[in-house]
Structure 1
Amino acid sequence: MSRTNSSTRQRLLNAALELFSFQGVTETTTRQIAELAQVNEVTLFRQFGSKQGLLLALIEESAVFTHLGESLRAQVNQTNHVDEALRNYASDRLKALEQIPELLRSVVGEAGKYTVENRRGLGQGINLANRDVANYLATVIEREQLHCRLSAEKLSSLLNVMLFGYLVIELTSEFHELWDNQEDFLESLVEVFLYGAVSPLPESSAGVLSLDKNNPPHPPLEVEENLNEKVADLPASLVRSILLQAKKQGLQDYALAYVLFGAGLRPQEVVALERLHQIIDEHQHLLQITQGAVRQVPVNQWIMGKRYGSYIRNPLSQWLKSRKDDQLAMFVNEKGQPFSEEELRASWQTFTSGLLTPEGQPLFVEQARQTWCVEMLMKGIDLEDLSILSGWDTTQLHPYARRGREKAALERALRLDQKA
């Protein structure tokens, strides 16, 4: 295409976009477009065939479709996880669509007036874009060796439909209460794609809330593995009460509660700890985790706004200093043998006896780890760093980020009320 033809085509596209956005597709004539573009009306027909052909070209050459495949191929190497890939694509597509809001309103409102050829052409453009997105998602899913119940093509088509539907609602209605803002929508969208919206409760969970003292309550394996999907962190006052009751039970229970809330470890990681797994001096107190994700984790002096000693003098260091045995395990039972996970849960039940969540539910030991995650995010740590410290993938931590934002928003609202 010559430079002159290219310039003429672009003037027609610019003129059409301006008029379509201002007065709608139906009310705009080809004569008006040609006059605004300062070309002969015959030139418009020669370039695009009709007004609908011009509309189709305008949509296909907008930022929604243009170079989509190239940009996704470049973007796929810059994403580490599938959640990041989903969020980046969704955010970019919404930004592209938001550049042509009035045009989108016209397209949606007047779609029934398009010719079959134009509808077919638009459908082909959508299919091409969908294949580009499917290749993008398939690459990320295969790279992370994830299992997907749907094909990448169906996954991408559902994603695109949801994005377009979101924008249509935003452009055509106000005062709805479907989501707080775009970030809230994107967060929900990613969670639906990663975790699903509905799943059956495992049969073995029926007795989760049993208060049998001989069988301490704890979630079955299937529930325990998915506890992070619904964050159940504990308020500061309740954490303080737990630590105080643990202190009354003895040095080991106090140290155990301190590690659970100060380092955010899983029960199986706690019982695997040995004395030599701590690195302690006046500048730091670290634990070497050998179960699951091998890593080092700091033991926080400050827990939910209260300080529990120093790096070298705290509930854990005091417990280990009091020991007179040669057992390597950090926590031991009455026989001097390493703590089992069931014994740890029994201790937890003992020093949380009589305490309930604000919802009136008994406390699970896993809630200490959940509380730690939310607190770390509230203190300013980012998801990547928390992923390293917790051993959880960033996708598993998104509910905690959401919970952290909720708590931060509430705190800001309370401060505003106090100022008033």
Structure 2
Amino acid sequence: MLAQSTSDRIINAAIELISEKGYKAATTKAIAQLAGVNEVTLFRHFGNKHGILKAIVQKFSYGPHLQKVMHEKVVWDVEIDLYNFSIEYQSYIMSIKDFVLIGFKEADAFPEINEEIANVPLFIKNELIDYFREMKRKRKIIDINIEATAMALIAINFGHFISRARLGDQVTELTTDQLIKTSVTIFSRGLTL
């Protein structure tokens, strides 16, 4: 088994403490102690607690992963592309659901969490805007507000995630795949010429 780098130990300790005790209680001193380093080492690697938060968000950011999917798997068929994007989004965001839910729990008390977390959907929104702009240029979708279209797709996917993450199958026993296929079919048919 490979030893974790000092940075990874600090990040993992911060995640553990934030999960258990909340962001405020996860002091740099407590994080350093749990990581087995001194506080000066923590500051040298991340500068401050906000720097650790940025590193955590980057570590769990699904933006670069989804960007890769969108660039490598795109076939310029809106239904296929949006299905692939949505399935990848659901798979990845469910794999980090505890982190996302921590963000919701802590965001009101600490605006810096909101600021960092907002960068992720902003990144995805911009990728979707580029995709929809190109689809519009290729005349494969109708003339529509592409930012609103990107936000609508994000909202559909995030709604499915929140329902599953918080309520499991209490609302529906449909699988994520069934929900995504139906949503994407309806969504893409509203966009096509």
Q: What whole-Å deviation, never above 9, does each CA across 1:278-304 have from its counterpart, x for those lacking one?
A: xxxxxxxxxxxxxxxxxxxxxxxxxxx
Residues 90 and 163 of structure 1 are in contact (CA less than 8 Å); yes or no, is this contact kept in structure 2? yes
Aligned position for 1:86: 82
Residues 81 and 144 of structure 1 are in contact (CA less than 8 Å); yes or no, is this contact kept in structure 2? no
User: Partners of 2:101 and 2:62 in 1: how far apart?
Assistant: 15
Matches for 1:178-197 after TM superposition, within 5 Å: 178=172, 180-196=174-190
Residues 66 and 85 of structure 2 are in contact (CA less than 8 Å); yes or no, is this contact kept in structure 1? no
- Label 1:182 to 1:41 Cα distance change in 2 as closer, same or farther (>3 A): same
User: Partners of 2:144 and 2:173 in 1: how far apart?
Assistant: 27
Q: Which amino acid aligns with 1:62?
A: F
Identical-residue share of aligned pairs (%): 26
Aligned position for 1:102: 98
Residues 29 and 51 of structure 1 are in contact (CA less than 8 Å); yes or no, is this contact kept in structure 2? yes
Aligned position for 2:117: 122
Aligned position for 1:66: 64
Q: What whole-Å deviation, never above 9, does each CA across 1:301-333 have from its counterpart, x for those lacking one?
A: xxxxxxxxxxxxxxxxxxxxxxxxxxxxxxxxx
User: Partners of 1:118 and 1:110 in 2: how far apart?
Assistant: 7
More strand per residue: 1
Gap regions ≥5 residues in structure 2: none
Query: Shift in Å at residue 84 of structure 1?
Result: 0.7
- Label 1:122 to 1:188 Cα distance change in 2 as closer, same or farther (>3 A): same
Aligned position for 1:138: 133
Residues 30 and 51 of structure 1 are in contact (CA less than 8 Å); yes or no, is this contact kept in structure 2? yes
Residues 15 and 37 of structure 1 are in contact (CA less than 8 Å); yes or no, is this contact kept in structure 2? yes
Residues 15 and 33 of structure 1 are in contact (CA less than 8 Å); yes or no, is this contact kept in structure 2? yes
Aligned position for 1:164: 158
Aligned position for 1:33: 31
Q: TM-score, normalised by structure 2?
A: 0.78
Residues 73 and 136 of structure 1 are in contact (CA less than 8 Å); yes or no, is this contact kept in structure 2? no
Bigger Cα Rg: 1
User: Partners of 1:58 and 1:125 in 2: how far apart?
Assistant: 12
Q: Which amino acid aligns with 1:83?
A: E
Q: Look up the SS of the partner of 2:33 in the other structure.
A: helix
Q: Which amino acid aligns with 2:178?
A: D
Q: What whole-Å deviation, never above 9, does each CA across 1:173-208 have from its counterpart, x for those lacking one?
A: 245324612112202321331234xxxxxxxxxxxx
| Number of residue pairs the alignment of both structures matches | 188
Residues 24 and 103 of structure 1 are in contact (CA less than 8 Å); yes or no, is this contact kept in structure 2? no
- Label 1:161 to 1:52 Cα distance change in 2 as closer, same or farther (>3 A): farther
User: Partners of 1:48 and 1:149 in 2: how far apart?
Assistant: 43
Query: Shift in Å at residue 44 of structure 1?
Result: 2.6
Residues 82 and 141 of structure 1 are in contact (CA less than 8 Å); yes or no, is this contact kept in structure 2? no
More helix per residue: 2
Q: What whole-Å deviation, never above 9, does each CA across 1:226-284 have from its counterpart, x for those lacking one?
A: xxxxxxxxxxxxxxxxxxxxxxxxxxxxxxxxxxxxxxxxxxxxxxxxxxxxxxxxxxx
Q: What whole-Å deviation, never above 9, does each CA across 1:341-396 have from its counterpart, x for those lacking one?
A: xxxxxxxxxxxxxxxxxxxxxxxxxxxxxxxxxxxxxxxxxxxxxxxxxxxxxx9x
Residues 91 and 186 of structure 1 are in contact (CA less than 8 Å); yes or no, is this contact kept in structure 2? yes
- Label 1:48 to 1:65 Cα distance change in 2 as closer, same or farther (>3 A): farther
Q: What whole-Å deviation, never above 9, does each CA across 1:26-75 have from its counterpart, x for those lacking one?
A: 54333332223222223333443443442333123325123543442222
- Label 1:98 to 1:125 Cα distance change in 2 as closer, same or farther (>3 A): closer
Matches for 1:11-410 after TM superposition, within 5 Å: 11-76=9-74, 79-115=75-111, 117-143=112-138, 145-151=140-146, 153-178=147-172, 180-196=174-190
Residues 23 and 106 of structure 2 are in contact (CA less than 8 Å); yes or no, is this contact kept in structure 1? yes
